Structure 1
Amino acid sequence: MKKWIESCIFLPTYLNEKKLMRHLSGKTILITGASSGIGAQVIYQLADVHCHLILVARNEERLSAIKNEIESKASATVNIYKADLRNEEQMGAFLDFLHSFPKGIDIVVNNAGLSINRSIFESLDRFHDFSRTMAINYFAPVQLLLSMIPALRSKHGQIINVSSVNVRLAPVPYFSAYQASKSAYDVFLRSVAPELRRSGVVVSSIYLPLVRTPMIEPTSAYKKVPAMSPQHAAKIICKNMYTKKKKYQPWWLLFGQIASIFMESFRDFTKRDKRGSL
């Protein structure tokens, strides 16, 4: 039953592998958060393409395993870099590493992220939850993009931001750190997108629903909720590399936006009604 529901909610994505290979042949693609989940699946989708993959994540052991697996069996060449992009020193060294490639970068896939599900009353002495979430979901991709814009502009490249449907919905309890940080980068990217597009840089936002990745494992409630597979999410991202559409979002998101606004208004009305009855 659950699989049937998921197949209806997450309609299949057809990936034209010939188009993908033709469009990406000879190009250099940077993928952040590449050691697991969606990032790793994007790598496997691109493995048979004659392209250059630059992978960054904190887990060097996993990155090395992926590199060895890809280069021993497939067409893509791989460079890996271990870094915590929240760390200013490590980010600076990583940017120097990126600028060392004479051919530059054609596509940046911003996939690294952090999610926190916690009540505000459990966060009163946990300001670090907000600072570290903002660091990886907002400051890191902004710093990366500012450094990469000249190269992307010269190559008429593409920025693909792996975002969440949450940023398109009304705010919900328990996700203040996550939703605020993801929304911050989404607004930033949509703000600069017209300028970038005029200079030849394609900007694409991928608004994904819940995806069954290691990031959601700590939240036990998610085990019973329909979720997209990381393989499906990777197909959506790779397809965008040749369609270059401005955004992807699930077919039902518009209805979700209407429902979330209605629910928010209903909560406000209920609170006012309770105060009025006191």
Structure 2
Amino acid sequence: MRTALITGATSGIGKATALRLAQDEFNLIITGRRLERLEELKKEIEVKYKKDVLILNFDIRNLDEVNKAIDSLPKHWRKIDVLINNAGLAVGLNHIQDGIIDDWERMIDTNIKGVLYITRKVAPMMIEQGKGHIVNIGSIAGTQVYENGNVYCATKHAMHALSQGMRQDMLKHNIKVSEIRPGLLETEFSMVRFKGDVEKAKSTYQGLTPLFAEDIAEAIHFVLTRPAHVCINDIEVTPVAQANAYYVNRNL
């Protein structure tokens, strides 16, 4: 039985991944800011899949909270085999000259600094045990910049670079590092980006069938269940209707 720590497990990819891994041989540490949702997910997993679940309720953007949460782990939960850096968001869709500073800071603090904070705490634990696997949830925006995406794309470019840097740094410690980069994916992502505007959020996926959280959860499960000598470094996943960040067929 392995233990996976999933950040941002209250919805979307994080929640779907927790449910998918619970079907396999994984106990789970689920983290996020919305305690009620974490408690609901914990109950669902325990009832359906009979796996052990530990909740860590904290804000990934706050270094002190991250440190306290990981330091509070009971001894039998400290053997973390898998870290899934999933917590992330996009806020706003503005040209750079019209950007909102608070939006920029939320994205930078969550998508870059949050990943660094939690990885800095967990990676030494993996090194000590001589193995582990870090999975970073990036985006096709990590290699392709689109209009109005400026700062969000910059944070995902950072995730792409960090994933490659982690792969090199962890190489001699027998720790795998993988990045999964989805395209158009229907979760709470667009609702957050458009600050609760339902119509704008829906228009993002109009005329096509997007990816769903479960699709990425399956990709994560695939990456985590390869033989010990195999590391999947990078996977880009898009809907059939999307070729890349610029070309989308909205008639499918």
TM-score interval for Structure 1 and Structure 2 normalised by the shorter chain: 0.7 to 0.9
* Aligned match for 2:90, one of 112, 115, 123: 115
Instruction: Kindly indicate whether the alpha-carbon contact (under 8 Å) linking 1:48 and 1:75 is maintained by their aligned counterparts in 2.
Output: no
Tell me the residue number matched to 1:140: 114
Instruction: Kindly indicate whether the alpha-carbon contact (under 8 Å) linking 2:163 and 2:178 is maintained by their aligned counterparts in 1.
Output: no
2:221 maps to 1:246: no
SS of the residue corresponding to residue 159 of structure 2 reads helix
Instruction: Please state how far the C-alpha of 1:149 moved relative to its aligned partner.
Output: 1.5
Aligned counterparts of 1:165 and 1:121: Cα–Cα separation in 2: 20
Tell me the residue number matched to 1:193: 167
- Tell which structure's C-alpha radius of gyration is larger: 1
2:207 maps to 1:233: no
Instruction: Kindly indicate whether the alpha-carbon contact (under 8 Å) linking 1:52 and 1:78 is maintained by their aligned counterparts in 2.
Output: yes
Give 1:64's aligned amino acid.
E
Aligned counterparts of 1:121 and 1:140: Cα–Cα separation in 2: 23
Aligned counterparts of 1:63 and 1:54: Cα–Cα separation in 2: 10
Instruction: Please state how far the C-alpha of 1:221 moved relative to its aligned partner.
Output: 2.5
Instruction: Please state how far the C-alpha of 1:237 moved relative to its aligned partner.
Output: 0.8
Tell me the residue number matched to 2:56: 81
The runs of 4+ residues in structure 1 deviating greater than 6 Å are none
Instruction: Please state how far the C-alpha of 1:72 moved relative to its aligned partner.
Output: 1.7
Give 1:221's aligned amino acid.
S
2:80 maps to 1:105: yes
Tell me the residue number matched to 1:181: 155
2:205 maps to 1:223: yes
Aligned counterparts of 1:229 and 1:104: Cα–Cα separation in 2: 30
Give 1:182's aligned amino acid.
K
Instruction: Please state how far the C-alpha of 1:98 moved relative to its aligned partner.
Output: 4.1
Instruction: Kindly indicate whether the alpha-carbon contact (under 8 Å) linking 1:116 and 1:175 is maintained by their aligned counterparts in 2.
Output: no
Q: Could you tell which deviates more after superposition, 143-152 or 243-252?
A: 243-252
Give 1:45's aligned amino acid.
R
* Aligned match for 1:168, one of 143, 151, 156: 143
TM-score, with length taken from structure 2: 0.83
SS of the residue corresponding to residue 161 of structure 1 reads strand
Instruction: Kindly indicate whether the alpha-carbon contact (under 8 Å) linking 1:160 and 1:204 is maintained by their aligned counterparts in 2.
Output: yes
Q: Which runs of 5+ in 2 are unaligned?
A: 195-200, 248-252
2:23 maps to 1:48: yes
SS of the residue corresponding to residue 137 of structure 2 reads strand
Q: Which runs of 5+ in 1 are unaligned?
A: 1-25, 261-278
For residues 240-267 of structure 1, give each alpha carbon's deviation from its aligned partner in whole angstroms, at most 9, with x where no partner exists: 1012411111388xx638x78xxxxxxx
Aligned length: 232
Give 2:244's aligned amino acid.
G
RMSD between superposed Cα atoms in Å: 2.4
- 1:90–1:195 CA distance, 2 compared to 1 (3 A): closer
TM-score, with length taken from structure 1: 0.76
For residues 8-47 of structure 1, give each alpha carbon's deviation from its aligned partner in whole angstroms, at most 9, with x where no partner exists: xxxxxxxxxxxxxxxxxx1110000101111111111122
Instruction: Please state how far the C-alpha of 1:97 moved relative to its aligned partner.
Output: 2.5
2:231 maps to 1:256: no
- 1:88–1:151 CA distance, 2 compared to 1 (3 A): closer
SS of the residue corresponding to residue 29 of structure 2 reads strand
2:7 maps to 1:35: no
Aligned counterparts of 1:76 and 1:123: Cα–Cα separation in 2: 47
Instruction: Please state how far the C-alpha of 1:192 moved relative to its aligned partner.
Output: 3.0
**What's the % identity of the aligned pairs?**
24
